[in-house]
Amino acid sequence: MATPNKFSKGDKVIVTRRNGAKVIGTIAGWDYNVCTFEIEYDVDYLKDGKIFTIICVPQTAITLNA
């Protein structure tokens, strides 16, 4: 069974990428992965004055930006 939704749209978060790099952004939305039934998030972040979106970020790679 899927884990409960841990983050809400608009939450400020830090995403840790596979290479260990950290990205500071905002939760833009979420959905269930139909293969694993886990919650995955879309995170908007600012780079070079433009907004980019990382899609399908697993809950385990996200922490709240306090």
Which has more pLDDT, 2 or 56? 56
Res. 59: pLDDT tops 60: yes
E strand or H helix at 59: none
Q: What percentage of the chain exceeds 90 in pLDDT?
A: 82
User: Tokens standing for 32?
Assistant: 């269930």
Question: How high is the pLDDT of residue 13?
Answer: 98
Computed on alpha carbons and rounded to an integer, the radius of gyration of the chain in Å comes to 12
Q: DSSP of 3-35, one letter per residue?
A: PP----TT-EEEEEPTTS-EEEEEEEEEEE-TT
Res. 3: pLDDT tops 90: no
Instruction: Answer whether 8's CB lies under 8 Å from 27's CB.
Output: yes
Res. 35: pLDDT tops 80: yes
Question: How high is the pLDDT of residue 5?
Answer: 78
